[in-house]
Chain A
Amino acid sequence: MTQEIEIAGLSKVFGQGASAFRALTDINLSIDTGEFFTLLGPSGCGKTTLLRMIAGFEHPTGGTLKIAGEEMAGKGPNARPVNTVFQSYALFPHMTVAQNIGFGLKMLGKSRSEVDTTVAEMLRLVRMEPMADRKPSEISGGQQQRVALARALAPRPRVLLLDEPLSALDLKLRKEMQSELKRLQTETGITFVFVTHDQEEALTMSDRIAVMSAGRILQLGTPHDIYHAPAERFVADFIGDTNFLDLPVTAISGDVATLTLPGGQSAEARLPAGYLPVIGETVTAVVRPEQAVLGEPGSGMLSGTVASSVFFGTDTHLHLTLSDGQDFILRRQNTADLPVPQPGTPVGITLGAGTLRVLRS
């Protein structure tokens, strides 16, 4: 697999002196050709700044950025083989849908017939053929979204940058567009770099995710890795629901630590790469709510009592209090005949093998 984007030691500081703001610090990243890559993080984490630097709208204060093996420093957005789908779509209001889609090709100096052919192809790709002669103000938000996608894809960029393109859509439309985007990416084979703060969006669509916070990449991996093996508290907290347990280390062998659970039982937990706690130290371990199984009191590895329950349709979230007072959330699949335990009911909790993980502190 070839590398489409290579970023090394990239940093960005806005302003100078006392008012300087460090938007990005030492970003190292390589994105493969044809990959659906997501930058995930809360607002202000620097993900949009990073995207804008790839697009060429912002210039790095340090580090290098290569696209298709070529250094991009000094090249403006119009000299880079990337196109952006803007959060606000930024469709040209004075042009028709077809003119919008054809704009990039026209600027590249393609012949009129070539522009027309590609525009027709793009209209078909995003299923907007009947709207070709409408102005952007005459179509719906979801349709504008499709046009923005078609416009950015029409010049066949090596990389498509998407800046929270789905955030303005309602839930149902957003779900539709998620699968639409995935389809387009598969059909065109273009590398997608997708920026979002929506962890679910990131998990469902991406090949790989970079979780960002405060201008740094905290963890980079497949959705599976990010979800099941978060390395830091921020990542574990930001993505999905998680139980954090503060537990003492009693033994370490290789990358597995033995921890003492509330109630005295021992459990093994995997350590994140490059992190070695001392024996006796208290570490933070995580387990996802759906990986814990409810049992009879006294069974399993943990014991606690039910504090409350929340019904979610497909499942129920049980808020438990462990024997040492720590909170624990357990998610249980609902079946028609399964009774919901009343608050105050004592329960036992079983943790699946390999589900407990230690976080880097």
Chain B
Amino acid sequence: MAAQTPDPAPEGEPQERHGWKWALNAPALAVLILAASGPLIIVAVYSFLSPGNMGGVAWDFSLDGWFKVFWTRDIFDPENVSWNWGNLTVFWRTVWLSIQTTVICAVLGFPTAWFIATRPPHRRALWLFLITIPFWTNLLIRTFAIQELIRGTGLLNTVMMGLGIVNEPVQMLYSDFAILLGMAYVFLPLMVLPLYAAMDKLDFRLVEAGYDLYASRFRVLWHVILPLVKPGFVAGSILVFIPSIGAYVTPRVLGGGRTMMLGNLIGLQFGQGRNWPLGAALSMLLLIIVMIALIAYLRTVNRDDGGRRG
């Protein structure tokens, strides 16, 4: 209907008459460049340099950092290259513990969020408030508290022995179990909150419609509730998985030196290891793992949505 004009811009969006308005974006751009891209670029560059003698980097291009991520050379025979199983084990443990943490948080978080979402509206705020209370205390303190609970002479063992469930203290500290417990505890609210947000928007009449159409409670959960709160699961999983995979404090305190995660390995390279390029390469690898995992995850969960839309 509109007359032919040389300007193809859609209606309601005036031409860029005010070029200076771009300047208003400058603070945001500066933050993005300096705070997000800047450090990342430094880490990426460092990963291709040589380690300095006293830490830091020497400005010589080298692929050694990346090489050492996966492989190791025999000290006496540099031609003899083998897989760096130490590092590979840490990668695998990191990914596996993070997946387990995410699953545990999802399994515990769903009923918790459901409980809150089904309270009378004026009580929900209180429950949400209670969920966020742990955030008020320093992560390190809370992690030490867990250590105190599960150590050999800790509360849990004392109670179990007192009740005669076990005869001698169970070794729980400094194990994958301890790390898992700590991470699930720390990250659980990050799953509960997005799940609650999704459930809060859930139309409970849909649940009634499900019951009305002969679905059992379980099938209503499976066919109606879960698909509808999926965005909450997706957001919660991302929020739990990403910090899990980069966790430092929890595996350090609860895993001791024996069970390391990627975060600890990176820390080691920048500290005692004095191999910054290796640490930088490991950091980049962490980033790549997270990106691949995210892309794979989002593709999987969005698969059934994509097809039908025309």
CA gap between A94 and B305 in the complex, in Å:
8
Name the CB-closest residue of A to B230. A94
Q: Which B residues touch A57, using CB under 8 A?
A: 208, 211-212
Q: CB distance A83 to B212 under 8 Å?
A: yes
Given contacts A57-B208, A90-B206, contact A107 B308 (CB under 8 A): no
Q: CB distance A84 to B219 under 8 Å?
A: no
B208 interface neighbour in A77, A108, A133, Cβ under 8 Å: A77
Contact of A238 with B by CB under 8 A: no
CA gap between A71 and B206 in the complex, in Å:
26
State which size class the interface on A falls in: 20 to 34
CA gap between A133 and B203 in the complex, in Å:
22
Contact of B209 with A by CB under 8 A: yes
Query: Which chain B residues numbered 192 to 225 have a C-beta less than 8 Å away from chain A?
Result: 203, 205-206, 208-216, 219, 223-224
A77 interface neighbour in B206, B211, B309, Cβ under 8 Å: B211
State which size class the interface on B falls in: 20 to 34
Q: Which of A56, A84, A92 has the most CB of B within 10 A?
A: A92
Q: Which A residues touch B223, using CB under 8 A?
A: 103, 107
Q: CB distance B214 to A107 under 8 Å?
A: yes
Given contacts A86-B205, A86-B209, A88-B205, contact A94 B214 (CB under 8 A): no
Name the CB-closest residue of A to B209. A90
Name the CB-closest residue of B to A154. B213
Prevailing SS type, chain B contact patch:
helix
Q: Which B residues touch A343, using CB under 8 A?
A: none
Name the CB-closest residue of A to B203. A90
CA gap between A347 and B239 in the complex, in Å:
81
Name the CB-closest residue of B to A108. B214
Query: Which chain A residues numbered 118 to 163 have a C-beta less than 8 Å away from chain B?
Result: 133, 135, 151-152, 155
Name the CB-closest residue of B to A96. B308
Q: Which B residues touch A77, using CB under 8 A?
A: 208, 211-212
Cβ of B291 to closest chain A Cβ, rounded Å: 28
Q: CB distance A133 to B206 under 8 Å?
A: no
Given contacts A107-B219, A133-B308, contact A92 B212 (CB under 8 A): no
Q: CB distance B213 to A155 under 8 Å?
A: yes
CA gap between A278 and B227 in the complex, in Å:
67
CA gap between A172 and B208 in the complex, in Å:
30
Name the CB-closest residue of B to A109. B214
Q: CB distance B209 to A107 under 8 Å?
A: no
Contact of B228 with A by CB under 8 A: yes
Cβ of B229 to closest chain A Cβ, rounded Å: 11
Q: Which A residues touch B219, using CB under 8 A?
A: 107
Q: CB distance B212 to A55 under 8 Å?
A: yes
Contact of A93 with B by CB under 8 A: yes
Query: Which chain B residues numbered 254 to 310 have a C-beta less than 8 Å away from chain A?
Result: 308-310
Residue pairs across A and B with Cβ atoms less than 8 A apart, 24 shown, are A55-B212, A77-B208, A78-B212, A78-B213, A78-B214, A84-B208, A84-B209, A88-B203, A90-B203, A90-B208, A90-B209, A91-B209, A93-B206, A94-B227, A94-B228, A103-B215, A104-B213, A107-B214, A107-B216, A133-B308, A133-B310, A135-B309, A152-B212, A155-B213
Residues of chain A touching chain B, judged by Cβ–Cβ distance below 8 Å, are 55-57, 76-78, 82-84, 86, 88, 90-94, 96, 103-104, 107-108, 133, 135, 151-152, 155
Question: Nearest 4 pairs between A and B by C-beta?
Answer: A104-B213, A90-B209, A107-B214, A77-B211
